[in-house]
């Protein structure tokens, strides 16, 4: 799972730079510290993803507990749902 860890931290660094104009060139700890001062949903999602990596449940769908497809995680490292649950959710929220 360490590659996803790196992916999430890289996303965090990107977000800090593009959205908050903060250049953090340090390690994961420094990036996390800078990020935790900002309370935005995007940062929170990334912090949440890191916690899931630490707990060893990253990449698991929060609804059905099946593995989320790696392609989805690459595109969206904060994904919490597998494809079928995601589309089931979308069906429900459509008018
Ligand atoms: Zn699922």
**pLDDT of 67 strictly over 80:** yes
CATH class of 2-93: mainly alpha
Q: How confident is the model at residue 94 (pLDDT cuts 50, 70, 90)?
A: low
Residue 69 Cα to ligand 1 midpoint, Å, equals 10
- Taking the domains of the chain in order of start, what are their residue ranges? 2-93
pTM of the entire predicted model: 0.79
Residue 90 Cα to ligand 1 midpoint, Å, equals 13
Residue 27 is predicted with a pLDDT of 87
Q: Could you give the percent of the chain with pLDDT greater than 70?
A: 96
Residue 85 Cα to ligand 1 midpoint, Å, equals 4
**pLDDT of 1 strictly over 70:** no
The angle, 0 to 180 degrees and rounded to 10, between the axes of the packed helices 41-55 and 28-36 is 140
Segment 51-66 mean pLDDT: 94
């Amino acid at each position: 799972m360490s590659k996803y860890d790196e992916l999430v931290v890289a996303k965090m660094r990107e977000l800090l730079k593009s959205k908050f104009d903060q250049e953090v060139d340090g390690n994961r700890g420094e990036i996390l510290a800078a990020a935790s001062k900002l309370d935005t949903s995007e940062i929170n999602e990334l912090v949440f993803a890191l916690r899931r990596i630490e707990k060893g449940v990253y990449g698991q769908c929060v609804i059905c507990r099946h593995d989320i497809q790696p392609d989805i995680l690459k595109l969206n490292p904060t994904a919490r749902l597998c494809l079928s649950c995601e589309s089931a959710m979308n069906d429900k929220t459509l008018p």
